[in-house]
């Protein structure tokens, strides 16, 4: 039979073993301290509030030079686009589409012409503009801690690094004392690009302080002609291979989409090239000389260009104009609902008759 002393000794050993295990678990559970300034993983929501978005609603091309695949839906649905994404019930979507058709058809002749569609596209694009303005007010308050109506580059830099997981107070202290910040190469590259954009948004006389309007240009370059030019320069820089500050068709379609490993990937790659070729030849290259200049790309990128809106209206009508009368009837829009809304309506013809 085990003695009391042996039992207590064994119990003590078990306790020490368990304590050692818990200590190990605690050590391995802690995040590695790669930087003295790092505090916590970045919150993507906070980061998105202060970073210029890659995607701009109602603009035909992304910031990285890719075509905006949702452009048609954005300029046809405006803010109602989210409703079609969230609600996939065909009957409800059909009713919403019929309401939109009636709004676009301002002369009530039961068909939509190019001028009516142009007016609608401009109206929906303006909706995106106003939405960006409202969001900017909230974002500006987030980076203007002292509420003086101006944000300095250092104030923004502190908030940006905080969103990346750096300790905000420590970063602020180091910047105040002109001490070196230990920042990884990738984050530093992003900061350098943002500072270039900051300079561009800083209207004369330059003071590196952005007010609310200038901050809007920083986040949404489509709101400023000067920033639109800067965005075009960035896209040209990324795609221009020979350095002549112009784009040929081969340069425009050479943006890599990944290594083609199988037939499915090859098909995706071919479709991508086909879309870009068509956009280059039929839309961006305005004088059809095989070269896209910075001026042509700027006009193409400007979401409030009325000529572009009319051209887009004609293209959208041509997609669904089955009877070739240069107008859209309700049945045609319902049949091609996926093009206009991203939502496919089944049995459209039967359902139209049910509605009437």
Which of residues 351 and 234 earns the better pLDDT score?
Answer: 234
Q: Confidence band (pLDDT; 50, 70, 90) for 52?
A: confident
* C-alpha to C-alpha distance for 195 and 178, rounded to whole angstroms: 17
Residue 14 reports pLDDT greater than 90: no
* C-alpha to C-alpha distance for 281 and 241, rounded to whole angstroms: 19
324-353 average pLDDT score: 79
Q: Confidence band (pLDDT; 50, 70, 90) for 255?
A: low
Within 8 A by CB and 6+ apart from 310, the residues are 114, 115, 118
- The pLDDT > 90 percentage for the chain reads 59
| Assigned token pair, 353 | 């008759």
268-272 average pLDDT score: 71
pLDDT of residue 66: 87
* C-alpha to C-alpha distance for 314 and 333, rounded to whole angstroms: 14
155-161 average pLDDT score: 92
Residue 115 reports pLDDT greater than 70: yes
66-85 average pLDDT score: 88
106 phi-psi bin (left φ>0, alpha ψ -120 to 50, beta other): alpha
Which of residues 138 and 146 earns the better pLDDT score?
Answer: 138
Contact call for residues 197 and 230 (beta carbons, < 8 A): yes
Residue 21 reports pLDDT greater than 50: no
Residue 15 reports pLDDT greater than 50: no
pLDDT of residue 146: 82
Angle at 342 between CA 337 and CA 345, to 5 degrees: 40
């Amino acid at each position: 039979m085990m003695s009391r002393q042996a039992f207590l000794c064994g119990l003590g050993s078990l306790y020490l073993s368990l304590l050692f295990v818990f200590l190990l678990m605690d050590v391995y559970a802690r995040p590695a301290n790669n930087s003295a300034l790092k505090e916590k993983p970045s919150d993507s929501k906070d980061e998105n509030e202060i970073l210029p978005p890659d995607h701009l609603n109602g603009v035909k091309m992304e910031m990285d030079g890719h075509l905006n695949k949702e452009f048609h839906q954005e300029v046809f649905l405006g803010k109602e686009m989210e409703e079609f994404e969230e609600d996939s019930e065909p009957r409800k979507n059909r009713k919403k589409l019929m309401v939109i058709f009636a709004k676009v058809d301002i002369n009530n002749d039961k068909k939509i012409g190019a001028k009516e569609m142009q007016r609608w596209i401009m109206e929906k694009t303006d909706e995106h503009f106003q939405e960006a303005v409202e969001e900017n007010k909230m974002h500006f308050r987030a980076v203007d801690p002292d509420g003086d109506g101006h944000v300095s580059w250092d104030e923004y830099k502190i908030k940006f690094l905080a969103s990346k997981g750096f300790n905000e107070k420590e970063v602020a202290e180091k910047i105040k004392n002109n001490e070196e910040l230990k920042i990884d190469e990738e984050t530093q590259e992003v900061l350098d690009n943002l500072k270039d954009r900051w300079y561009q948004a800083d209207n004369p006389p330059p003071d590196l302080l952005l007010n609310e309007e200038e901050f809007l240009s920083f986040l949404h370059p489509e709101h400023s002609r000067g920033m639109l030019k800067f965005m075009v320069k960035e896209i040209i820089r990324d795609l221009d291979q020979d350095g002549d500050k112009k784009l040929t068709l081969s340069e425009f379609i050479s943006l890599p989409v990944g290594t083609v490993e199988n037939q499915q990937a090859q098909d995706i790659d071919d479709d991508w090239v086909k879309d870009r070729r068509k956009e280059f030849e039929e839309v961006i290259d305005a004088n059809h000389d095989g070269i896209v200049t910075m001026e042509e790309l700027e006009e193409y990128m400007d979401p409030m260009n009325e000529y572009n809106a009319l051209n887009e209206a004609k293209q959208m009508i041509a997609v669904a104009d089955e009877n070739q009368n240069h107008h859209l009837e309700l049945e045609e829009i319902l049949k091609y609902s996926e093009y206009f809304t991203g939502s496919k309506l089944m049995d459209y013809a039967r359902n139209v008759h049910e509605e009437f």
